[in-house]
Amino acid sequence: MKRIFEWTALFLVAFLLQGTIVHAIRIGSIVPDLVVVVLFFLSMKHGAVLGIYVGFLIGLGQDLYSPSILGQNALAKSTVGIFVGLFNDRVMRTDPLLKVVLLFAAFLIHDSVFFGAQLLKNGHELAPLLKELTVRTLPRALYSSAFAALFFFWDTYFKPTFRT
């Protein structure tokens, strides 16, 4: 129960920061996506099943309260959930650098699915979406990965451990 509250609080904080102060650290028009970062942490910690359902619900919430196609974010985030969950800490122990690479890949998958859904729904041409992937997704994935890398390295090398 305590964990549910912790993760709920974490997602709420991520949403709150995403809508407020994250814009203060933007580079050009690129801002890190904290919601995906928190979803990545959750899936990495608790596995694919939880990652899928939480990603689906979070995505669905974003779809309801943002001008996107209903189900677009839900599909993208549940895909991120299953992808990251496959490499979760229970299955394998990944080092921080690999986690950063996985997060980068998660962003690419997220946006690819997101734009794929758009393509499916509206029948846009592929070229503008590919351009969007290159111009926006890559820098955003890089920035978010770099942002999350700080936490990974802190978690691995600097987090104090208490032994009794």
Using CB under 8 A as the criterion, which residues of the chain lie in contact with another protein when the complex forms?
47-49, 52-53, 55-57, 59-61, 63-65, 69-72, 74-75, 78-79, 81-82, 85-86, 117, 120-121
∠ CA 99-52-59, nearest 5°, is: 95
Name the CA dihedral angle for 74, 14, 5, 104, rounded to a multiple of 10 degrees: 60
Shortest approach of another protein to residue 19 CB, angstroms?
Answer: 11
Which amino acid is residue 76, in one-letter code? Answer: A
Please report how close the Cβ of residue 149 comes to another protein at its closest, in angstroms.
27
Nearer to another protein, 71 or 96 (CB): 71
Residues in contact with 56: Cβ distance below 8 Å, sequence separation at least 6, in sequence order: 74, 77, 78, 81
Residue 30 vs 75, nearer CB to another protein: 75
Nearer to another protein, 88 or 144 (CB): 88
